[in-house]
Amino acid sequence: MLKIIETPRDAMQGIKEFIPTKKKIAYINALLKVGFDTIDFGSFVSPKAIPQLRDTAQVVEGLDLSDTKTKLLAIIPNLKGAQIAESFDQINYLGYPFSISNTFLQLNINSDIGKSFDETEKILNLSHKSGKELVVYVSMAFGNPYGDLWSPEIVYEWTRRLHQIGVKIIALSDTTGVGNPDTIGDSFRAVINEFPEIEFGAHLHTHPENCTENIKAAFDSGCRRFDTVINGLGGCPMSKQKMIGNLKTRNLLQFLKEHNIDHGLNLRAFHNARALEAFTFPSGLSIPKS
């Protein structure tokens, strides 16, 4: 079964105007009724880095998980974040933003590949003790906008190491939207059959115009886990690149419909959540078309 990870965290993190905690809670509660596999709902990061998500601890306490199978994922940039997230029983997954780009790691979490790999291992050990699962994002998986070395072989090599320490879920990520069907297909093909124990996902920051071909490249290479955002907003504000948005949920659903693949979502609840967007996100944001 295909898994959809709805990702309001990525949509909200770059918005300067603070979205009130109550609005975040109401919106995420609406998303919890839709039937997504997981909601990447917030992050435990430095409030200086991402002021928008400084209320994640209050948000999680306001969520209604009484009638949902959807699991919660929080992004944590270090062991400290993992220790905070660990104290919330409501959270199932810790998401760690690893990367094969030293430049991005420096910008995003003031780290480098070696340090970040060691931190991954520490977080993985903690997650085992606390009964949570770790999702490792491998940013710059489909190309590199900073001029750092990139190739599917590098993606393979770091996946091999992550596999060796016991990572079970990896989301290959296109933080700045430089991927194309060739590079997306090449990177997935480099790892997906080599590590059958790992669940691979696609975290695509992609323009609406080329999202279908990028989804297809990931899907045809065997990926069955996709991160989406209903209004397609978002990106990493630390990347020093233009935020081009996230894969729109509707565009993924369209692709699935055309390929007769069941998504299992409650479409009425989906439309209710969409209707709440205008009350949640500040007005004047440029929402990607289509």
Contact residues: ligand HMG, CB under 6 A: 10, 13, 43-46, 49-50, 75, 77-78, 80-81, 97, 108-110, 137, 139, 173, 175, 203, 205, 236, 238
Decide: 18 and 51 in contact? Cβ < 8 Å. yes
Least CB distance to Mg ion at residue 205 (A): 6
Residue 227's CB: how many other CB atoms inside 10 A? 28
How far apart CA 33 and CA 186 sit, in angstroms, is 36
Least CB distance to ligand HMG at residue 39 (A): 14
- Considering beta carbons, is residue 139 or 159 the nearer one to ligand HMG? 139
Choose from ligand HMG, Mg ion, none: what does 85 bind? Cβ within 5-8 Å by kind: none
- Considering beta carbons, is residue 10 or 186 the nearer one to ligand HMG? 10
Least CB distance to Mg ion at residue 10 (A): 4
Residue 10 found at the interface with Mg ion (CB under 5 A): yes
Pairing of strands 169-174, 133-139: parallel
Size of the site for Mg ion (CB under 5 A): 1
Residue 55 found at the interface with Mg ion (CB under 5 A): no
Least CB distance to Mg ion at residue 175 (A): 6
Which of the ranges 5-13, 17-25, 149-157, 276-284 carries the binding residues for Mg ion, by CB under 5 A? 5-13
3 state SS of 219: helix
DSSP 20: P
- Considering beta carbons, is residue 114 or 275 the nearer one to ligand HMG? 114
Count Cβ atoms within 10 A of the Cβ of residue 200 and give its class: 0-12 exposed, 13-18 middle, 19 or more buried: buried
Least CB distance to ligand HMG at residue 268 (A): 29
Decide: 64 and 90 in contact? Cβ < 8 Å. no
Residue 40 found at the interface with Mg ion (CB under 5 A): no
SS3 sequence of 104-142: HHHHHHCCCHHHHHHHHHHHHHHHHHHCCEEEEEEECCC
Residue 199's CB: how many other CB atoms inside 10 A? 16
Least CB distance to ligand HMG at residue 229 (A): 10
- Considering beta carbons, is residue 39 or 271 the nearer one to ligand HMG? 39
- Considering beta carbons, is residue 208 or 264 the nearer one to ligand HMG? 208
Beta bridge partners of 225: 3
User: Cα dist. 12→113, 201, 206, 218 in Å?
Assistant: 26, 21, 17, 25
Residues found near Mg ion in the complex (CB under 5 A): 10
